[in-house]
Amino acid sequence: MACFLSATCPVYVAPAMDLEMFKDPSTNANLAGLKARGVKTIGPDSGELASGLEGQGRMTELEVIVRFLVRDLMQGSKLAGKRVLVTAGGTQEALDPVRYIGNRSSGKMGFAIAEEAAARGAQVELVTGPVVIATDRPAIIRTDVISAAEMAMACERFAPDCDIIVMAAAVADHTPKKPSDRKIKEKETSMLVELEPTVDILKGLGSRKAKHQRIVGFALETNDALANAQGKLERKNLDMIVLNSLSDPGAGFGHDTNKVTLLTPGTDPVQLPLMSKARTAAAILDHLEKLMPNA
């Protein structure tokens, strides 16, 4: 108490207690009192407690506390206070009410970018295809979509108010022209499905890019990777393109790690090492911040 009263530095608390104690109104009132004095709270998380019970009251992991403190105290990020649109995951294009054409995107890279942007103080609109990942940061507002058309609609809605757009989603390039409204029967021995192109969301946003906006696309190439990614950077009027490697072990769909190359107009490509998707997200946003105007 004496230390707290004499502290002139920022003070943070990371509460840890049993679940009933945390739920008690006096705890809430005390936390509100601390908040009113400018003290920030980290956690508590839900999980196994010292009493053996499960619930909210578990102290946030030290690693998470340290990351929070670094970000919070850093405050130098150009993303602080910005609005960021991030897309994640793959889209699903219906063949019939049961089946769809999809891809192997897990959404991990897009979610890592959304988390990192939020940690740097941005307000994030996260538009995601069907994934099994959760996020509980208040600064991330999540919109779930299924098809490329739904993702396009959500992006059109959010993009005009955003300063940064990061299209990490693996959007289907084609969709069945006439999805069946009934389940297609097994006895069909062979069938032809006519596909039509989806809207290129990124190209549309790039063509209408406002002066204050910075737009980042992703590319996944199996051949002539750098030249193809460079072409997309120009064709879609982007400020950066993140080229994913498919050939390195541990990189790409589903992994917790990734290996990417960053391309920006007029500069040499920057190849990043194989790292966790969280660190890759941080490196992408560090690079992006260099492209943003000074406040």
Interface residue with ligand CTP, options 86, 114, 148, 164 (CB under 6 A): 148
Min dist CB 90 to ligand CTP, Å, is 10
> Does residue 162 bind ligand CTP (CB under 6 A)?
no
Specify the stretch interacting with ligand CTP by CB under 6 A; choose among 27-35, 179-187, 198-206, 285-293.
198-206
Interface residue with ligand CTP, options 214, 232, 259, 277 (CB under 6 A): 232
**Catalytic status, residue 228:** no
> Does residue 120 bind ligand CTP (CB under 6 A)?
no
3-state SS, the chain, equals: CHHHHHCCCCCEECCCCCHHHHHCHHHHHHHHHHHHCCCEECCCEEEECCCCCEEEEECCCHHHHHHHHHHHHHCCCCCCCCEEEEEECECCEECCCCCEECCCCCCHHHHHHHHHHHHCCCEEEEEECCCCCCCCCCCEEEEECCCHHHHHHHHHHHHHHCCEEEECCECCCEEECCCCCCCCCCCCCCCCCCEEECCCHHHHHHHCCCCCCEEEEEEECCCCHHHHHHHHHHHCCCCEEEEECCCCCCCCCCCCEECEEEECCCCCCEECCCEEHHHHHHHHHHHHHHHCCCC
> Does residue 169 bind ligand CTP (CB under 6 A)?
yes
> Does residue 171 bind ligand CTP (CB under 6 A)?
yes
**Distance, CA of 148 to CA of 90 (rounded, Å):** 9
Q: Name the token pair of 154.
A: 């959500």
Min dist CB 50 to ligand CTP, Å, is 45
Q: Which is nearer to ligand CTP, 70 or 246 (CB)?
A: 246
> Does residue 200 bind ligand CTP (CB under 6 A)?
yes
Check 103, 223, 237, 258 and give the catalytic one: 103
266: left (phi over 0), alpha (psi -120 to 50) or beta: left
> Does residue 234 bind ligand CTP (CB under 6 A)?
no
> Does residue 218 bind ligand CTP (CB under 6 A)?
yes
Q: Which is nearer to ligand CTP, 201 or 283 (CB)?
A: 201
Specify the stretch interacting with ligand CTP by CB under 6 A; choose among 22-30, 105-113, 123-131, 212-220.
212-220
> Does residue 198 bind ligand CTP (CB under 6 A)?
yes
**Distance, CA of 108 to CA of 123 (rounded, Å):** 19
Specify the stretch interacting with ligand CTP by CB under 6 A; choose among 49-57, 62-70, 199-207, 277-285.
199-207
Number of residues that bind ligand CTP (CB under 6 A): 15
Interface residue with ligand CTP, options 122, 202, 243, 284 (CB under 6 A): 202
Q: Which is nearer to ligand CTP, 58 or 236 (CB)?
A: 236
Interface residue list for ligand CTP (CB under 6 A): 148, 167, 169, 171, 173, 198-202, 217-220, 232
Active site residues: 103
